[in-house]
Amino acid sequence: MTAFPEGTVLGYPRIGRRRELKKAVEAFWAGRIDEAELERTAAELRAATRERLAAQGLGENDSAIPESFSYYDQVLDAAVTVGAIPARFEDLRAEDGTIGLPAYFTIARGEGDRAPLEMTKWFDTNYHYLVPEIGPETVFSLSSDRIVRQVQEAADAGFRTRPVVVGPVTFLALAKAADEAPEGFDPLSRLDDLVPVYAELLGALKAAGAEWVQLDEPALVSESLPASVAELGAAAARAYAVLGGLAERPAIFVAAPYAALDANLSVLAAAPIEAIGLDLVRGTVPAAVPGLADKVLVGGVIDGHNIWRGDLAAAFDTLEVLRGLGAAGVSASTSTSLQHVPHDVEDESKLDARLVSWLAFADQKVAQITTLARGLAEGRAAIGAELDAASAALADRLSAPGVRVDAVRARTAALTEADFTRGDYDARVAAQSIALDLPALPLTTIGSFPQTGEIRRARAQFTKGEITAEEYDGFLRDEIGRVVALQEELGLDVLVHGEPERNDMVQYFAENLDGFDVTENGWVQSYGSRATRPSILWGDVSRPAPITVAWSQYAQSLTAKPMKGMLTGPVTILAWSFVRDDQPLAETANQVALALRDEIADLEAAGIGVIQVDEPALRELLPLKKADQPAYLDWSVASFRLSTAGAEIATQVHTHLCYSEFGVVIDAIRALDADVTSIEAARSRMEVVTDIAAAGFDHGIGPGVYDIHSPRVPETAEVETLLRRAVAEIPTRQLWVNPDCGLKTRGYEETNASLRNIVEATRRVREDVSVAV
């Protein structure tokens, strides 16, 4: 067995520094390039990644460079590799049973009446993976050798890389039961059938020259999955006994990112594997357990979630403590894959130099890893200068102007219980029904309308100074006028202005609040070909001037129907930014909440009677460990309430959450005390209404009837079926009709057709329920 490298990263961004992969994949989908050209672009990106990582100091030949490329998603990669695809896609296989690239994309995106795989958040990140569907009949068989070919491709270029694959336990733990599976079926029960395919894969990787393989098993750290920690541990013990026992295999490195392994550390320590990856940003160095001393311990001391340069000296100290466990070796690593951070801070020309000195994007983190690895090999003195430089940057950050602003701190310090509480719900319902006068099953949308090429072009021209502020403003007003007219023509009840002025729902607020900076090229993959540019929240937050008021007021002036004001909530602003790590999130959240509270007061004064405060990330930040959840739910719910509790009782406060696992956070959603909550439901075919009904949720609720993640247009009958399912389980007076999420990623053709079908389906259902209202 070759030694594990002294330093490595668990994964690297795959979208390309200028989102080259996104552009190529979307060009392929649009038929502008063929499969061979797409493959060429992807191969070039992989080559660039290998060379860049080597240039930053990772070894070319010691398995330090991860083979972590993906065209769309690493869980989909695993599903296609082991052939675990739903029956509705079986005909897409080639004659020899393999699953090619076009089929891979069809499974991700759906086609015609074939729904895509469901999508959900990956652990506590803003990355979305595709949910495998597993049933008793699912046949596991090696169906794609893509990862093997990539190892070969690297070898041909003179690199020995380390293939990264989602491990068998995590793969099944994240799967859902296939449609045809019997009630109560557990995908994890198929482990013994799946593991032989992983065994075959490991053999093929070895034959292709892989000395090490990385199997990602983050499920082992989570207390928030359907399977218990003990069940997951038992599954891991079984799986790795088999894989570790293989005669022909690469050395096995099991990575367990996103939190501490806790009880499951013993399982991996006892398993016949060679290396264990620990998240030492979220967790601490564990106590010794039997078997651990035989393993290489890969210390995830550099934060893979965040972009702060951080305390490098403390990271090195942690590695030295880890070394004290008497392990077979210690290696420096990132806590998670770097897929959650942008490529390179050197690509930012507009950020303040002082801010830049506090930051580390993926490439800078790789350099930090090589520094730590050198320290492990040569001793602390050898890296003294680098450690001191990082400490100096940290000290500079603490004392820089804007990081602590007295006026902002005085306001949060003076808050009392009353600032977090709105008026009585029944009184609100009464006041709002007079103010708004809505029909049964009111129709609305989540806020954004398609962000057309025209909108993006106008924004780019404005940014470059090619059109004036007046011209841009006029363009946006015309766009709002069109969107309002369209909604009136369709017959929606609560209208939106369409958010054309926003590039991104968080960045837009970040650009208009003090305490933030935004990046030019800081893209991070969100799902598939989609990437976002998280803002950097580095200082105390305040609102220098109203942000959305003029747009909402203008939109309201164009219609007699209620216009919904549209804000992004404090938790989501935090979740989708890179947030300062020098104070509790609760304090930062309250600063953001107060800025939003002022915005709501200004919207009301401008005549806006419905205001939505989006919190799609509420579930995402939920800590994986049960013990940490109550404190999180306390501050996150409190910050939402602080932002909305100043609203008049006649003002209808909406919120929107982007996922269907309503049951998990039902008490928190109830505690938000929004008048209306819209959620994703179409992708999981309305399963969520059962949870809502069972929980006795009694405020307004809009379970989505249109899956906006897919280009598919839902048929009227399909929407009607979903609506009837909702009506059967939830009192009609509570129900709203809306899509799963905003429409900004869709085109107008699909949007018009889908909304028309939704309006027609609602009309049909209203005929039957009107009596009951």
Binding site, annotated residues for L-methionine = 446-448, 499, 614
**Residue 575 tokens, joined:** 């979740």
- By a kind-dependent CB cut-off of 5 to 8 A, residue 342 interacts, out of Zn ion, ligand GLN, none, with none
Those residues with Cβ within 8 angstroms of residue 678's Cβ, 6 or more apart along the chain or in another chain: 444, 446, 654, 655, 656, 657, 701, 702, 703, 704, 736, 738
Please say which residue, 217 or 499, places its beta carbon nearer to Zn ion: 499
Q: What is the CA radius of gyration of the chain?
A: 26
277 contacts Zn ion (rule: CB under 5 A): no
Nearest-approach distance from CB 688 to ligand GLN, in angstroms: 16
8 A C-beta contact, residue 217 and residue 254: yes
Nearest-approach distance from CB 497 to ligand GLN, in angstroms: 11
Please say which residue, 128 or 712, places its beta carbon nearer to ligand GLN: 128
Q: Which stretch binds Zn ion (CB under 5 A): 68-76, 365-373, 510-518, 616-624?
A: 616-624
Q: Tell me the C-alpha distance between 727 and 707, whole Å.
A: 19
Nearest-approach distance from CB 115 to ligand GLN, in angstroms: 20
> How many alpha carbons fall within 13 Å on the CB side of residue 601?
12
Q: What is the largest CA-CA distance in the chain?
A: 80
741 contacts Zn ion (rule: CB under 5 A): yes
SS (H, E, C) 640-669: HHHHHCCCCCCCEEEEEECCCCHHHHHHHH
Please say which residue, 5 or 447, places its beta carbon nearer to ligand GLN: 447
Place of tokens 């993959």: 525
- By a kind-dependent CB cut-off of 5 to 8 A, residue 447 interacts, out of Zn ion, ligand GLN, none, with ligand GLN
Residues annotated as binding site? 19-22, 121, 126, 446-448, 499, 576, 614, 620, 656, 658, 680, 741
> How many alpha carbons fall within 13 Å on the CB side of residue 686?
21
Coil, strand or helix: which one is 699?
A: coil
Output the CA torsion 685→721→766→738 (10° steps).
30
- By a kind-dependent CB cut-off of 5 to 8 A, residue 295 interacts, out of Zn ion, ligand GLN, none, with none
Name 278's bridge partners.
256, 299
447 contacts Zn ion (rule: CB under 5 A): no
Is 128 an annotated catalytic residue? no
Residue 34, judged by CB atoms within 10 A of its CB (0-12, 13-18, 19+), counts as exposed
SS (H, E, C) 235-275: HHHHHHHHHHCCCCCCEEEEEECCCCCCCHHHHHHHCCCCE
Please say which residue, 331 or 751, places its beta carbon nearer to ligand GLN: 751
**Helix (H) or strand (E) segment spanning residue 690:** helix 688-694
**Residue 213 tokens, joined:** 């393989």
Nearest-approach distance from CB 660 to ligand GLN, in angstroms: 13
What is 394-463 written as a DSSP string? Answer: HHHHHHSTTSS-HHHHHHHHT--GGGG-PPPHHHHHHHHHHHH-PPSS-BB--SB----HHHHHHHHHHH
Nearest-approach distance from CB 381 to Zn ion, in angstroms: 52
Q: Which stretch binds Zn ion (CB under 5 A): 308-316, 353-361, 583-591, 736-744?
A: 736-744
8 A C-beta contact, residue 689 and residue 681: yes
> How many alpha carbons fall within 13 Å on the CB side of residue 4?
30
658 contacts Zn ion (rule: CB under 5 A): yes
- By a kind-dependent CB cut-off of 5 to 8 A, residue 684 interacts, out of ligand GLN, Zn ion, none, with none
Q: Tell me the C-alpha distance between 426 and 441, whole Å.
A: 19
Nearest-approach distance from CB 748 to ligand GLN, in angstroms: 15
Please say which residue, 227 or 688, places its beta carbon nearer to Zn ion: 688
8 A C-beta contact, residue 505 and residue 498: no
**Residue 65 tokens, joined:** 């460079």
The residue nearest ligand GLN at its CB is: 742
Give residues in contact with ligand GLN (CB under 6 A): 446-448, 499, 505, 566, 614, 616, 656, 658, 741-742, 744
Helix boundaries (H) for 166-263: 168-173, 191-207, 229-244
Nearest-approach distance from CB 146 to ligand GLN, in angstroms: 31
616 contacts Zn ion (rule: CB under 5 A): yes
8 A C-beta contact, residue 708 and residue 741: yes
Please say which residue, 286 or 500, places its beta carbon nearer to ligand GLN: 500
8 A C-beta contact, residue 544 and residue 514: yes
Those residues with Cβ within 8 angstroms of residue 395's Cβ, 6 or more apart along the chain or in another chain: none
How many residues bind Zn ion, per CB under 5 A? 3
| Identified catalytic residue from 128, 343, 497, 709 | 709
Residues annotated as binding site for L-homocysteine? 446-448, 499, 614
Place of tokens 């990271």: 315
Q: Tell me the C-alpha distance between 356 and 643, whole Å.
A: 31
Please say which residue, 222 or 678, places its beta carbon nearer to ligand GLN: 678
- By a kind-dependent CB cut-off of 5 to 8 A, residue 504 interacts, out of Zn ion, ligand GLN, none, with none
Q: Tell me the C-alpha distance between 766 and 493, whole Å.
A: 14
Helices (H) and strands (E) in the chain, counts: 26, 21
Residue type for position 62: D
CA 729 to chain centre: 30
Name 516's bridge partners.
537
Q: Tell me the C-alpha distance between 175 and 181, whole Å.
A: 13
Place of tokens 């319902």: 429
- By a kind-dependent CB cut-off of 5 to 8 A, residue 744 interacts, out of Zn ion, ligand GLN, none, with ligand GLN
**Residue 459 tokens, joined:** 């924004």
- By a kind-dependent CB cut-off of 5 to 8 A, residue 673 interacts, out of ligand GLN, Zn ion, none, with none
Nearest-approach distance from CB 316 to Zn ion, in angstroms: 41
CB atoms within 10 A of CB 209: 16
- By a kind-dependent CB cut-off of 5 to 8 A, residue 566 interacts, out of Zn ion, ligand GLN, none, with ligand GLN
* Active-site residue list: 709
Sites of contact with Zn ion (CB under 5 A) = 616, 658, 741
